[in-house]
Amino acid sequence: EGAVARASQLVAYLEPGSTLSYDLAGELLLNDPQLLTYIQAGEYLSLHMNTLIDNIGALEKIIVRLYNSSDEITALTQTISIDEIIATNFDIEITLPDYANDLQRIEIEPVFRTDAEYSSDNTIGISRVETLLWNETFLFMDNNTGNIFLNHTLYYDFFNESTSPELVYMFNEDLKYLALPEDVEFNWSFTVYLFNATTYNLFIPNTYIDPNTKENSTFTSGDFIMIRYFSPVDKGITANIRDIYFQKKPFNYDSLQSIAETLLINSDDPTDYNQITQPYNINLSIPITPFIESYSDMYSQIVIDINLSTYEQYAIDGYIDISHILFSVNSPAYIFTVDEVAIIEKATYPSGYGQGFYNRIWQYTEQEQFIASPDPI
């Protein structure tokens, strides 16, 4: 067995100051005590959480802390940035102690942004833009004023306490501002459903001031309208943990540098091992992706950063020659599939350069030749 996978789905709303705690020892002691024994014996490398995070733009990073029965295991505290979470398809990898331990629980603390619209100084909210066509099917008359309105359901929440000079701005197809006549104004309502889910309806008057003639005009069926309004700043996230995967130590792990790797080499014969190691090779580990697999035609996007300045001693006239990219799986217990390799230049300005090789480059793990010692173990 290379791993143990468990289905354990939960949804939690986390806001500033809150922490998600996973009672690992209590849950496994009840459902899988043997797995807990192996984990506390240091036989498992990591725990992977397959997550979905709503409103992830409010998040800056998460801090993962592990606790034994007496205190925090500070050496294993992890800080995972939002960029890392997105790059790994929301697979949160938590390192487990690889030695005998008394691991009891795992706590995940979200750290939220405090810049830009998430600043405490923001009293306007977040600007939202929606477009619609005037549809007479959704018209109704206000019995108090006699005005006619279009009932439009907003995609986002409506912030009616915004300090903006106007709560709603309206534009035509030429993006010209449409002011409202005197004594005519927008109105709204909201409906609260199960679990406090709320929808907002904006009531758009059918009359406006024509920006060209400055006279009152009336919308007709099919007219294009763009509205700009404000939503309250949601500083929390909804985290959905769909699956949990425990990664076991591979066989002979202590002498295994990595499970899978890619090597950038300069060689005229990639089958000649001596040329692979001389004069240099750029060895980069490839992480496992337990929740994405090729059987369902789904692939995980893995970003591997290469800092070639580290190898500048091998440069000739400012260039480092790389002839081949090799992929290697060091443990036969793992399936490895490469669907696409893309080489992207990262710069602080648009480089306009990128090259990709798109086809089924490597279908599952393969090895053309096996070489064993006269006395294999």
User: Angle at CA 170, nearest 5°, toward 168 and 174?
Assistant: 155
Residue given tokens 């709560």 in the structure block: 167
Per-residue model confidence (pLDDT) at position 299: 66
Q: Pick the residue with more confidence: 255 or 294?
A: 255
- pLDDT of res. 11: 83
pTM, two decimals, is: 0.66
Please report, as a single letter, which amino acid is at residue 116. Answer: A
Determine the distance from the C-alpha atom of residue 287 to the mean position of all C-alpha atoms in its chain, rounded to a whole number: 16
% the chain with pLDDT above 90: 37
Q: Quote the CA–CA distance of 256 and 277 in Å, as a whole number.
A: 17
Q: Is the pLDDT reported for residue 324 higher than 60?
A: yes
What does the pLDDT look like over 325-339, one tens digit per residue? 888 887 777 777 777
Band (pLDDT 50/70/90 cuts) for residue 358 is very low
Domains with residue ranges and CATH for the chain: 3-118+236-248 (2.60.120), 126-231 (no CATH), 253-362 (no CATH)
For residue 229, give the nearest of 178, 152, 187, 168 by alpha carbon.
168
Q: How confident is the model at residue 298 (pLDDT cuts 50, 70, 90)?
A: low
Q: Give residue-wise pLDDT tens across range 5-43.
A: 554 578 888 989 999 999 999 999 988 999 999 999 999
> Which whole number is the average pLDDT over 272-283?
72
Q: What is the pLDDT of residue 353?
A: 42
205: closest CA among 151, 270, 157? 151
User: Which residue did the predictor score with more confidence, 183 or 300?
Assistant: 183
Residue with the bigger pLDDT between 350 and 209: it is 209
Confidence of residue 304 (pLDDT cuts 50, 70, 90): confident
Examine the pLDDT at 354 and tell me if it is beyond 60: no
User: Residue 377: is its pLDDT beyond 50?
Assistant: no
> CB neighbours of 111 closer than 8 A, spacing ≥ 6?
59, 60, 61, 62, 63
Q: What are the tens digits of pLDDT across the range 135-194?
A: 999 999 988 888 999 999 999 889 888 777 788 999 999 999 999 999 899 999 999 887
User: What confidence score (pLDDT) does residue 293 get?
Assistant: 58
Which residue pairs from 171-175 have beta carbons closer than 8 angstroms and sit at least 24 positions apart in sequence? 171/225, 171/226, 171/227, 171/228, 172/211, 172/223, 172/224, 172/225, 172/226, 173/224, 173/226, 175/226
Confidence of residue 3 (pLDDT cuts 50, 70, 90): low
Phi-psi region of 330 (alpha: psi -120 to 50; beta: other; left: phi over 0): alpha
Q: Mean pLDDT, the chain, as a whole number?
A: 82
Confidence of residue 208 (pLDDT cuts 50, 70, 90): very high
Cβ atoms of 35 and 245 within 8 Å: the answer is: no
> Model confidence over 79-129: pLDDT tens digits?
999 988 887 888 899 999 999 999 999 999 999 998 888 888 888 888 899
Predicted pLDDT at 107: 95
| Tokens at 158, concatenated | 């409506």
